[in-house]
Amino acid sequence: MKSLSTIVCLATITACHIGCSPTRRPIPPERSLAQPPVDEPAGDAEAVETEAAPPAIEGKNHLGTASSPYLLQHKDNPVHWYQWGPEAFAAARERDVPVLLSVGYSTCHWCHVMAHESFEDEEVAAYINAHFVAIKVDREERPDIDGLYMDVVQRLTGRGGWPMTVVMTPAQEPFFGGTYFPARDGDRGASKGFITILGELTAAWTTDRANVLARAESLSRAQAEASRPRPGGAMPGAEAIGQTVAAIARGHDSEWGGFGDGTKFPRPATLRLLLQYYRRAQDPTSLAMVVNTLDHMANGGIRDHIGGGFHRYTTDRRWRVPHFEKMLYDQAQLVMAYLDASQATDAPRFAAVADDTLRYVAKEMVADGGAFFSATDADSLDPQGEHVEGWFFTWTPDELQSILVVDDARVAAEWFDVNPYGDLDGRNILRTERTRETVATALGITTAALDARLEAIRPVLYAARAKRTPPHLDDKILTAWNGLMISAFARGSAILKSPSHLTVAERAASFILSTLVDAQGRLLRTYRKGVAGDIGYLDDHAFLIGGLLDLFEATSEPKWLKSAIALQERLDQGFWDTENGGYFLTSKDHETLLSREKPTYDGAVPSGNSVAIMNLLRLSVLTTNDAFRERAYKALGAFAMEITRRGAGSPAMVSALDFATDDALEVFIVAADADADRKGAQALEDAFHATWLPNRAFAAVSSESEGASLTPLVPGLRDKAAQKGMSTAYVCERGACQAPTSDPATLKRQLGRVKALTTEPKPSP
């Protein structure tokens, strides 16, 4: 029998080469979406002694009462799944068997693959039921469990992703981990299949228990030590920003945009940091990296050119072949990145992409109450009823010709690069990589005629596509992701001058604040079909606070700022590390796990700490309460090592550092009573929203009396009045204001003042 360490080493060859929306060290599928890559060719696996037909045991699948769409996808599996909780671990102790933990989410392609190959397979399920207690966890509902054991998997294998597979003792101490495993030896070219690995683990548990327990204890101790809060230090200086940008720039793909030379992920936090650095350091290279990336994404296959929005990532460096799931958090963050770029460059094309994405979300991702759904799947049903990744989004020339008149079919094929060969089994992923001028010339028409034809063609294709079976919708509502989307709609409403976007943001915020707060006033994390879930985590509070601050800046409605301050107080009370600074992922009211994480990594979504620090800085400027600023500085000091040594992994936190080292502005606009049509006030607001000014607080009030009523919340509005009967703007810094102005051009000049960034490292003492 192999030792446990040998099993782990060999299993690592099979595991972790794929995963949906991978974490920290991304390792998604390669170009072929049907076959995952392997490190070695298939071969005859070494035989292990496991019973061919494990004895049947009494039991049942316990997922039928779950609210999670992901768990409900597995409720009919022959595996006797439990939900995470005391019942499962008590059963493991009673039976004296290890726990098999499987973590994923409902729109994860490779989670579906492993479910079909292993968890729906009677033989595999029987083996699991006989030798393990099996637990299913939705990573989106329980980020604490997912984060803890993903760290373990990465410690064991050097990488991670979903589905995540962990085997642990009944005391929740892990001793084996990986991601996706093919069911049997030789499947997908793997030398070892899941059932073989489970057999080896069972043998180790049965005959080498002492070694298994020692390994579990060692891994748990290492995890606890790695998560132990470190004493905080001084807040890093501005030189850390330049160092981080230099590290990011080394990975930039100058030809196709993005970062790295393989799989491409949108990472909006990185792009937004580069834009902030461009502003402070006047560095054109940083701006060029952002423009290059956003243009290639907007034109590539990662964007849905018919329905709007963006897919999760692409499996190639040219942004052409996406992993087709659509996540709410990607839409929110990319909208904000494109809005930032539209302000920094004055390029209408970036604003157009942001607007198109917001319209997609408003049309397809809004629940009846106004909140936002979480995601749509990568897989969809083809006409034969088979689950095929991306079928819903892809096209053939014949399909275009059957839907459109001849001339329009030719225009669509030329513009979207649809050809008989296709990208995936003869089907084409739409993209718009050629310029309007090039395509118009090829068609023998003007660019204006091309634009008119495309405007007519897109809704026809959208209507035709809507007749296909759509991908699965994950209809649960997550507070954290809703917070991000509220920010996007609120900022979009102001920058794009769209009242309808503001309405969407306000409805979502009202729903969350009225429905996802319990009787004790605690924010809750999830909601689905009338049932709210467990209490919220750090990111639920931080992301929603950020959304409420953006909504306040878009409306100057005091209720949004009051709610943000109240949530910040709860966050400080329940999550703050009073000794070292920074916020824990979990509150004092959450379940106690092996360790208590303090997240700093900004991956697919920014860490809760990154957003929380930015919120504190914004609140400090808006309210002039230095307690917020001091807490932000202490948090930045707590994470000084992450910022100075691994800043490229925490770009949103480095953006917060940029705010902290800048002279953030307080900008107020007071409409005059005589400005009945608000043209003067609107011109000033338009000038403000057209300016790339990330480090600021803003309020626009419709009258002096409204400004006076807001003064208790926003002291900077005190004594701000319309001058000479004209709507007036004030640009201030720590209470000291420049000359009031009613001229939009003058306001633009005042806003354009920039505190230069110190890019040189501090000299050693």
Token pair of 477, please?
């509502």
Greatest alpha-carbon pair distance for the chain in Å reads: 91
Containing 164, the helix (H) or strand (E) segment is strand 164-168
Q: Domains, the chain, ranges and CATH?
A: 4-227 (3.40.30.10), 239-376+475-660 (1.50.10.10), 379-470 (no CATH), 665-751 (3.40.30)
Is the distance from CB of 488 to CB of 332 less than 8 angstroms? yes
As beta bridge partners, residue 523 has 517
Q: Report pLDDT for 189.
A: 87
Whether 141 shows a pLDDT value over 60: the answer reads yes
Mean per-residue pLDDT for 680-685?
A: 96
Mean per-residue pLDDT for 162-176?
A: 97
**DSSP readout, 440-470?**
HHHHTS-HHHHHHHHHHHHHHHHHHHTTSPP
Give the whole-number percent of the chain exceeding pLDDT 90: 85
Give the model's confidence band at 735: pLDDT under 50 very low, under 70 low, under 90 confident, else very high: confident
**Maximum average pLDDT range among 18-32, 178-192, 652-666:** 652-666
How wide is the angle at C-alpha 382 spanned by C-alphas 377 and 385, nearest 5°? Answer: 100
Q: How far is it, in rounded angstroms, from Cα 548 to Cα 486?
A: 8
Mean per-residue pLDDT for 743-756?
A: 95
| pLDDT tens digits, one per residue of 458-505 | 999 999 999 999 999 999 999 999 999 999 999 999 999 999 999 999
Q: How far is it, in rounded angstroms, from Cα 493 to Cα 473?
A: 26
Q: Report pLDDT for 764.
A: 36
Is the distance from CB of 740 to CB of 729 less than 8 angstroms? yes
What backbone torsions phi and psi does residue 521 show, to the nearest 5 degrees? Answer: 80, 15
Q: How far is it, in rounded angstroms, from Cα 614 to Cα 610?
A: 6
Mean per-residue pLDDT for 319-327?
A: 96
| pLDDT tens digits, one per residue of 328-371 | 999 999 999 999 999 999 999 999 999 999 999 999 999 999 99
Cα-atom radius of gyration of the chain, to the nearest Å?
A: 27
Whether 554 shows a pLDDT value over 50: the answer reads yes
Token pair of 192, please?
């070892």
Q: Report pLDDT for 229.
A: 84
Q: What is the DSSP letter of 352?
A: H
As beta bridge partners, residue 133 has 99
Question: Token match 């919708």: residue?
Answer: 473
Alpha-carbon separation of residue 289 from 102, 246, 293, 354, 747 (angstroms):
38, 12, 6, 18, 29
Mean per-residue pLDDT for 605-610?
A: 97
Mean per-residue pLDDT for 184-206?
A: 94
Ranking 121-130, 641-650, 673-682 by mean pLDDT, the lowest is 673-682
Residue among 93, 91, 138, 86 nearest 111 (CA): 138
Give the whole-number percent of the chain exceeding pLDDT 70: 91
Residue among 334, 306, 316 nearest 257 (CA): 316
Q: Report pLDDT for 226.
A: 87
Containing 82, the helix (H) or strand (E) segment is strand 82-83
Q: Report pLDDT for 234.
A: 93
Q: What is the DSSP letter of 700?
A: E
Mean per-residue pLDDT for 573-588?
A: 96
Q: Is 327 helix (H, G, I), strand (E, B) or coil?
A: strand
Q: How far is it, in rounded angstroms, from Cα 107 to Cα 116?
A: 14
Q: Specify the pairing of strand 477-478 against strand 526-528.
A: antiparallel
Whether 21 shows a pLDDT value over 50: the answer reads no
Mean per-residue pLDDT for 622-634?
A: 97
Q: Specify the pairing of strand 696-701 against strand 728-733.
A: unpaired
Mean per-residue pLDDT for 699-712?
A: 92
Is the distance from CB of 376 to CB of 470 less than 8 angstroms? yes
Containing 90, the helix (H) or strand (E) segment is helix 86-95
pTM over 0.75: yes
Q: Is 244 helix (H, G, I), strand (E, B) or coil?
A: helix
| pLDDT tens digits, one per residue of 514-537 | 999 999 999 999 999 999 999 999
Ranking 21-30, 363-372, 374-383, 409-418 by mean pLDDT, the lowest is 21-30
| pLDDT tens digits, one per residue of 25-73 | 333 332 223 333 322 222 222 333 344 445 556 679 999 999 999 999 9
Q: How far is it, in rounded angstroms, from Cα 119 to Cα 113?
A: 10
Q: Report pLDDT for 6.
A: 59
Residue among 84, 120, 110 nearest 99 (CA): 84
As beta bridge partners, residue 424 has 427
Q: How far is it, in rounded angstroms, from Cα 739 to Cα 761?
A: 36
Q: Report pLDDT for 232.
A: 80
Is the distance from CB of 138 to CB of 3 less than 8 angstroms? no
Q: How far is it, in rounded angstroms, from Cα 634 to Cα 640?
A: 10
